Amino acid sequence: MSGDLIDIGRLALAQGSGLPGEIEVYVQHAQTTSIKVYGGEVESLVTGEPRGAGVRYVHQGRIGYAYTGDVGRDALASAVQQAVHNAAVAEPDVYASLPGAPREYPEVGGLWRTGLLSTPVERKVGLALAAEAGALAEPEVETVEESAYVDSATRIAIVSSAGVEVYEEQTFCYVYVSAHARRGDDVQTGMGFVTGRDPDDLDADAAGREGARKAVRQLGGAPCPTGRYTVVLDREVAASVFGFIAQALTAEAVQKGRSLFAGRVGQRVAADRFSLWDDGLHPDGMATSPFDDEGVPHQKTALVGHGVLQGYLHDTYTAAKEGGEIRSTGNASRGSYRGSPGVSPSNLVVAPGNGDLADLLGRVGTGLYVVSITGLHSGANAVSGEFSVGAVGLLIEGGALAAPVREVTIASDLLSLLQNVSDLGADTRWIPFGGSVLTPSVAIGDITVAGT
């Protein structure tokens, strides 16, 4: 398979031979399965093989991009032509360039598991059904709105006239459940999930029970009194908050004047106990691979060390613009072959503190445990740092979880939030939604909660 994708890349490159600029071809081929069950029956079974190629052309600092879902010779030739045409309209930027071949790539094992493609579809359906059954086993769970098994086997090749020629493949699968619990007129939802690289990794029943437990414990929720609280962010919430903050830690955001962290390298931006890094080579991460989306080796990059800002995430372009000793940190990223790369985190890792969630709640004593937030992307301003989001959770009283809370908002600004990190658990979990983040539960002091 590696040969096929590399060959497509070379074929595209050949269509542009003789052109004055540099060409990069990104080729993607995936096999995907998505199964949803409802009421013990298969609701939908979706299979597909999305594939395509993206061509980036750079000439005299002008960048043009074009993509095609058809990877035959004519379509590739047309995409190259279109990329050249598009580059002519873009305006020159002296820092625009393609990366050359690195001396070597790091070894990352275990990303591809053959079991994913050889597992029969009936077994995958069985996982989705097991998750649904796991949720329905819980008293007060009325329906499982959605129980799904999703997998993908993705292959990527990058070939460029600047010397890059790489291939990688990986498998990934997950089961998720959205459970609805009812008590009288009160309905609450809860989500559970498990992830892996092979269907055999997935404990579907556990995902179902997690969703059910989360739904049931919110029954009877009501707004809590308005005030300033110590909040403990559940790991899913912490992952989305730190993922959001990391957007402002890309050199792209800094160079464009869109980051509240601009000019603060070496300064204290967070509590001493807080450390955050990016690690594209972590063996368990969903974003792990030997190289980024322009073929630069992945690495581990410190972002915040004991509260002090260490640096930013770079791709080839932002590193060139920064100049000096700065090199790409291997953080070029694209959603698919349809898009040219931008800068974004790979796997984000938050340094753990001590103990499990119960220990952390015990140390916090009184506060609000936040289990989900809504409106982060519309309600938080990554430029100014201000945010105000809807929250659902449980009160913390006497060092333990107490009454459920809903229909409140929590508000602060991102810098205050980082500086007010007052404690962390050691209960780290990989969260795969909207990125890939490994984080424990995190306590943050002095947050405004608006309720009644």
CA 373 to chain centre: 16
Residue with tokens 């579809």: 121
120-139 residues in contact with other proteins (CB under 8 A) are none
Contact 226, 418 (CB under 8 A): no
Contact between 43 and other proteins by CB under 8 A: the answer reads yes
Q: How far is the CB of 135 from other proteins (least distance, A)?
A: 14
Contact between 77 and other proteins by CB under 8 A: the answer reads no
**What 3-state class would DSSP assign to 413?**
strand
Helix axis angle for 73-89 and 2-15, nearest 10°, is 50
Q: Using CA atoms in the order 231, 237, 243, 247, what is the torsion angle rounded to 10 degrees?
A: -60
Contact between 75 and other proteins by CB under 8 A: the answer reads yes
Nearest to 140 by CA among 84, 202, 184, 97: 184
Q: How far is the CB of 69 from other proteins (least distance, A)?
A: 4
Q: How far is the CB of 220 from other proteins (least distance, A)?
A: 12
Which of 31, 97, 143, 299 forms a contact with other proteins (CB under 8 A)? 143
Q: Using CA atoms in the order 100, 105, 110, 114, what is the torsion angle rounded to 10 degrees?
A: 50
Contact between 312 and other proteins by CB under 8 A: the answer reads no
Q: Where are the alpha helices (DSSP H) in 16-62?
A: none
Contact between 300 and other proteins by CB under 8 A: the answer reads no
Alpha-carbon distance of 26 to 291, in angstroms, equals 13
Segment interacting with other proteins, rule: CB under 8 A, options 62-70, 154-162, 324-332, 427-435: 62-70
Contact between 51 and other proteins by CB under 8 A: the answer reads yes
Which of 386, 430, 432, 433 forms a contact with other proteins (CB under 8 A)? 386
Contact between 170 and other proteins by CB under 8 A: the answer reads no
Which of 305, 390, 399, 432 forms a contact with other proteins (CB under 8 A)? 390
Provide φ and ψ at 442, rounded to 5°. Answer: -130, 130
Cα diameter, the chain: 73
Alpha-carbon distance of 210 to 69, in angstroms, equals 39
Alpha-carbon distance of 209 to 213, in angstroms, equals 6
202-231 residues in contact with other proteins (CB under 8 A) are 223, 226-228
The DSSP annotation for 139-183 comes to: TTEEEEEEEEEEEEEEEEEEEETTS-EEEEEEEEEEEEEEEEEEE
409-428 residues in contact with other proteins (CB under 8 A) are 409-413
For residues 52 and 196, which CB has a smaller minimum distance to other proteins in the complex? 52
CA 300 to chain centre: 16
Q: How far is the CB of 89 from other proteins (least distance, A)?
A: 5
Q: How far is the CB of 359 from other proteins (least distance, A)?
A: 30
Query: Secondary structure of the chain: what % helix, strand, coil (to 5)?
Result: 25, 40, 35
Containing 86, the helix (H) or strand (E) segment is helix 73-89
Which of 1, 2, 60, 85 forms a contact with other proteins (CB under 8 A)? 85
Which of 375, 397, 400, 434 forms a contact with other proteins (CB under 8 A)? 375
Which of 42, 308, 326, 357 forms a contact with other proteins (CB under 8 A)? 42
Containing 443, the helix (H) or strand (E) segment is strand 442-450
For residues 273 and 321, which CB has a smaller minimum distance to other proteins in the complex? 321
Segment interacting with other proteins, rule: CB under 8 A, options 167-175, 332-340, 343-351, 396-404: 332-340
Segment interacting with other proteins, rule: CB under 8 A, options 160-168, 256-264, 297-305, 426-434: 256-264
Size of the site for other proteins (CB under 8 A): 77
For residues 57 and 274, which CB has a smaller minimum distance to other proteins in the complex? 57
Q: How far is the CB of 223 from other proteins (least distance, A)?
A: 8
Q: How far is the CB of 378 from other proteins (least distance, A)?
A: 3
Segment interacting with other proteins, rule: CB under 8 A, options 155-163, 266-274, 338-346, 358-366: 338-346
